[in-house]
Amino acid sequence: MADFDRRTALKGGLTVSAVGLLGTTTFSAAAVAAPGASEPKIHDTAAWGARPPNGAIEVQNHKPTYIVVHHTVDPGNVTDYTLEHAYWASRSIQNFHMDTRGWVDSGQQFTNSRGGHITEGRHRSLEILRGGTQHVLGANVGNNNSTCIGIENEGLYSKEDVTPALWDSLVKMVAYIASQYGISPEFIKGHRDFNSTECPGTVLYDRLPELRTAVGSLLGSASPKADLPEWPLLKPGDTGPRVRTAQELLRARGFAVPVDGLFGQSTKDAVTALAARNGLERDLCGATAATDEAGFLGSDVWPLIMRPGTDTRALKAQLAG
């Protein structure tokens, strides 16, 4: 959403100079990182030849709450695992975000290649992460950028799994971020936990409990609590009892959809209209492809169609079962 970023760029212009000094003075906080979560090799924007941003980078005076895992979709699941390719991919993402999306810079704070090379995304993200007290406002999780720090993982993981190298660097990077900000592993999320999107792909999404456990063991923290149920993601073409439940709730909200358990055109139109009416930010991800996710019904739509007074946990459990 270009308008979103232009607004934040303007706001950033007012605040970034005030926090610039703080950013440097807190730099030494990296030295207090917990044992076992040392900084992995992170290639900064200068290393991969980033363009300068089109506007001010907004640095917020609070830590992020969530670490969010994404997939990039493009350039697909390449087999070029070199550092040179990771640099190329970083430039390609930045070009797409600045030239096509109209954002000030790369949307994500960090990028992880299929060869396991980690690069800085949005300028200043590495410096601020080392400080451990502030947050570079990105553009990768619609309506939630103030609380989320995002890692774009190169590839498409709807059906295929990530490479072992990508997985290893993801574990190390997430552990380092969690350590710097004191984030508990249960706050490691997938993009679809916030927005109605396929990202980070069902295969990678289903490995998030494993990621939380791996990060927890690197940090030496207790085993993460049992995962709370998340809202399911329903897509046009889906069938079954969860679609039927969604249709019942949409009807109760005044949408003339059938209650037949088939996610057809009228259900898709209803969800699209509801998302627009409520200002849900779609297409706000670091992904480099404009995938058609119109009508997807996920974590930001369920709360809008729940009956007033519904027990959220009970409904989530019903949908999960």
Rule CB under 5 A: which residues touch Zn ion? 70, 191, 199, 285
- Least gap, CB of 69 to Zn ion (angstroms): 8
Burial class from Cβ neighbours inside 10 Å (0-12, 13-18, 19+) for residue 321 reads exposed
Q: Assign 144 to helix, strand or coil.
A: coil
- Which residue type sits at 306? M
- Least gap, CB of 191 to Zn ion (angstroms): 3
- Least gap, CB of 118 to Zn ion (angstroms): 17
- Least gap, CB of 186 to Zn ion (angstroms): 20
User: Please, which residue, 45 or 197, has the CB nearer to Zn ion?
Assistant: 197
- Least gap, CB of 72 to Zn ion (angstroms): 8
User: Please, which residue, 282 or 316, has the CB nearer to Zn ion?
Assistant: 282
Q: Assign 321 to helix, strand or coil.
A: coil
User: Please, which residue, 285 or 297, has the CB nearer to Zn ion?
Assistant: 285
- Least gap, CB of 24 to Zn ion (angstroms): 31
Q: What is the end-to-end Cα distance of the chain in Å, rounded?
A: 35
Residue 153 DSSP class = E
Question: What is the CA 34 to chain-centroid distance, rounded?
Answer: 24
Q: Of all residues in the chain, what percent are helix, strand and coil, respectively (each to 5)?
A: 40, 10, 50
- Least gap, CB of 199 to Zn ion (angstroms): 3
User: Please, which residue, 16 or 156, has the CB nearer to Zn ion?
Assistant: 156
Place of tokens 């553009």: 139
User: Please, which residue, 107 or 131, has the CB nearer to Zn ion?
Assistant: 107
Q: Assign 187 to helix, strand or coil.
A: helix
- Is the separation of the CB atoms in 207 and 228 below 8 Å? no
User: Which residues lie across from 71 on neighbouring strands?
Assistant: 153
User: Please, which residue, 130 or 207, has the CB nearer to Zn ion?
Assistant: 207
User: Please, which residue, 132 or 286, has the CB nearer to Zn ion?
Assistant: 286
Q: Among 222, 195, 125, 207, which residue's Cα sits nearest to residue 164?
A: 207
What span, in angstroms and rounded, lies between the C-alpha atoms of 113 and 170? 9
